A and B are shown apart, each in its own frame.
Chain A
C-alpha cells in the first residue's frame, strides 16, 4: 500500500473478496525525505501514514517492509548504469520485476502468504485449464499492463490486480470516498519516485561523471560538441547546440547515444523511425506463444525447448508497445537466433535501446523484451544527413 488511492481500494476489494489481507508499505529509501515530498507521488512519511490509515479503516494489519537496499541496488543503481550505458530504462518495470513481484513476493510466500495484490490497472484472466493470462485493464486510459509485461508465469501465478476490471479511475475514487478512505482525492503519482523534482537529467548529471565529446551525423561527420553523452536521450531535439547546420536546414534529433565512444548521433526526424527492434532478454507472460496456439516452433531450427525460451518461433501477428503511454502498433514477431525480433508494420518513432517492448495479442500481454538493437526505417544513404 503506497498511500495512494489505487492500492487502498485494491486492498479493500481483496478484503471484500474474502481474502486474509495484510497491508504492506514498502520503505524504498532509508531517508524518506530524499524521495519525493508532498502529495505528488509516493514514498514520503505522509504516504506511509496515509497507507496506515487506509489499512486501519479496512481493519487489516499493516506493516512497513524495508526494501531500501534491494531497491537501491536493483532499481536506482540499475537506472544509473543503464543510462551510463546509453540505454533508456523504465525503473517502474524494474521495480515490478525485481522488487514487488520478486523480493516482496518471495518474502511473502515464505511468510505464508499466497499472493501479492497491487493497485495496478491490469487484468488477470484464468482459462479453463487454469492458465493465467495478463490482459489490459478495462480502462484503457489507465491501463498499466505495459509495466507488468516483465512478469513471468510464476510471478503472475501469485499476482492479484483487483482494479483491473474497473471501468475508470473515477469509479475507484468514488469507491474510495464511499468507503471513507481519506486518500480518495489524492493526486495521481507521476514520473520516477526516486527523482523528487522530476528532473531526470539533472539527477543523472549528479551521478554520472560527464565527459565532453562529439556530436556526429550518421556519416560520422562532427557537427557539434556535448558535455556528456549520457545526458542525451534518443528522440531529443532541444539542447543540442549544433555548430554545423543541417544541409537542408531542418531540425535534427538525437538518433543514438554511444557511451563507448562518447558520441551522440543526430539526424533528421524521419531517421528516428525504426522498422525493426530486437532483444535477447525476453520473457513470456503466462503460456508461451506455442502453447497458446499463436505460432509454431520453426521446424527448420527444431522443436521449442520448453516454456522459457523456444529456440525459434515462426512469425506471428501482434501489436508492440514501447513505452508506458505509447499506442500499440501492428507488428510481426518471431524468435530467431536467440532474439525476439519484432518487425513493425509502420515506421515507429522514439525507440531507444534499454526500453522494453511489450508484445500484445489483442488485449493479452504475451511477453516482452528489453530492446538491444533497432533497425532504422530510413537507410543512411537515402536519408538526408
Chain B
C-alpha cells in the first residue's frame, strides 16, 4: 500500500512504538501516592515537559487530553464558560474554514449556551483575512474569544496566527489556536503572546490515537468539560503515562528533524505538483501550496510556499467526484483523502473550499494528498502514474451520476 494520507493519521515510527510498549509495562496510577504511582507520575511529567519544550511553554501549561477533539472542546467551551462567569461578552470569532471540532463546538455553544458567532472570511488561498478580523474584534468588549487554525487541515494553508493574536491581544481578546495539523510540521515556538490556548494531537505525528494535549497559558482559565478526580489543570480522568510518553517521543522526533523533514516533503510535493500539472492539466491545485506550484514569478512562488504546510497538496478535478477518485486510487493500492469531513459517511462539499470561493460543483472534485516523513519518490510517481486513468474514469462517472441515460 502507498499511504499518502498522513494528515488523517500518520504511522507510528519504531522508536515511538518501542517507547510506548515499554511505558505500557508501568505499574501504578500517576495519581497514586505510593512509589509505583510516583514513578508513573514522574514518567508522565517527564513526557509533559518534553512536549512542552517543543512548544517553548512550561510543563504546567500542558494538559493531556483524550485526543485533539477533546482539547479543542475544552479550550473553546472551557474558555467561553470561564470568561462568561464574569461580565465579558458572548461573541466567538471563528473563521469559516475551521475544522469540525471547532465548528461544531461553537455552533453547539450558539445553540445551547447563547454564544453569538462572528464568522471570519478567508482569501482564495484559505488564509484568514486580517482586515475582517480587526473589524469583528472592534474594541473587544463584546468578544469572548477567537478560535482559529494554525494550518488548515484540508488545503494546508498556514494562518496569520501571530498577526491575528496581536490584534486580539490589543483589545484583550483571548485566542485559541487549533494547531493539530501544524504541530510537528512547522515550528510553533515561541507561541505569540496573545495565544491563550493551543490544541495538539499525538497521532498526526506518529503518536498513539486517543492522546492529545491542550496548552493553557498560565493566565488562562477553562471550566472543565468532565468532572472527577481533578488530576490535571482543567481536566479530570486518570492520566495516561504510556500515551504521554509515546506522544513525547513522537514530538521530539518530529522537532529534531523538523527542517529536514519539511524540506523532504516540500521537494516531493513540488514533484507531485509538477507531475499533476503535466499529466492531469485540467486539475486545479488549491491553497498556498497549489498557488506556489502555479506561480510564474519564482520570488512570489517561494513566498507562497512558506504559507503552506510542507506535506499537503490539494487539488480539484472538474466534473469528477473526489470520492470516485479516492475509490479508484484505493483500488490501485494508493490511500489518499478528499479532505473533507463526512457526516455518517455522507460526502459533503467542503466548507473550506466553499469559503475559498469555489462552487459546490468544483468543491466535489477535491482530493488531498498528504506526504509523510517516509514518503518516497517512487510512491509519488506511482500516484502520478495512476492519476490520469482515475481522473478519466471519475469524470465519466461524475457525468453518468449527474445525468444518467438509463431509465429515462
Contacts and interface: CB of A to CB of B under 8 A. Distances in A.
Contacts of B394: 111
A61 B331 contact: yes
Contacts of B344: 27, 32, 45, 48, 64
B327 A110 contact: no
A298 B339 CA distance: 60
B406 to A, nearest CB: 4
Given A105-B406, A150-B407, A110 B399 contact: yes
A101 B401 contact: no
B404 interface: yes
A200 to B, nearest CB: 24
A111 B327 contact: yes
A63 interface: yes
B327 A106 contact: no
B394 to A, nearest CB: 7
Contact of A67 (B330, B399, B401): B401
A106 B323 contact: no
A377 B339 CA distance: 62
Contact of A102 (B327, B328, B330, B406): B406
Interface in A102-127: 102-112
A311 interface: no
Contacts of B406: 101-102, 105-106, 152, 154-155
Interface string B308-346: 000000000000000110011011000000000011111
Nearest to A32: B344
Interface residues of A, number: 34
Contacts, number: 85
Interface in B281-309: none
Contacts of B343: 32
B400 interface: yes
B393 interface: yes
A29 to B, nearest CB: 8
B34 interface: no
Contacts of A97: 407
A109 B327 CA distance: 14
Nearest to B324: A111
Which of B393, B399, B400, B405 has most A Cβ within 10 Å?
B400
A32 B346 contact: yes
Nearest to B392: A110
Which of A45, A101, A107 has most B Cβ within 10 Å?
A107
Contacts of A111: 324, 327-328, 393-394, 396-397
Could you say which interface size class chain B belongs to?
A: 20 to 34
Interface in A151-174: 152, 154-155
A30 B400 contact: no
Given A65-B323, A111-B327, A101 B393 contact: no
A27 B401 CA distance: 13
A63 B394 CA distance: 15
A48 to B, nearest CB: 5
A68 interface: yes
Which of A98, A112, A150 has most B Cβ within 10 Å?
A112
A25 interface: yes
A176 to B, nearest CB: 22
Contacts of A48: 344-345
A111 B330 CA distance: 12
A70 interface: yes
Contacts of B400: 103, 106-107, 109-110
A154 B348 CA distance: 31
A27 B407 contact: no
Contacts of B328: 111-112
Given A70-B401, A106-B400, A107-B324, A64 B345 contact: yes
Nearest to A29: B346
B112 interface: no
Interface in B383-408: 393-394, 396-402, 404-408
Contacts of A25: 345
A64 B407 contact: no
A66 interface: yes
Given A25-B345, A107-B401, A66 B407 contact: no
Contacts of A103: 400-401, 404
Given A102-B406, A110-B399, A155-B406, A64 B393 contact: no
Given A61-B331, A66-B323, A105-B404, 8 more contacts: A25-B345, A27-B346, A27-B347, A66-B346, A102-B406, A102-B407, A105-B406, A112-B393
10 contacts: A27-B345, A48-B345, A63-B323, A63-B327, A64-B345, A102-B406, A108-B397, A110-B397, A110-B399, A112-B393
Interface of B: 323-324, 327-328, 330-331, 342-348, 393-394, 396-402, 404-408
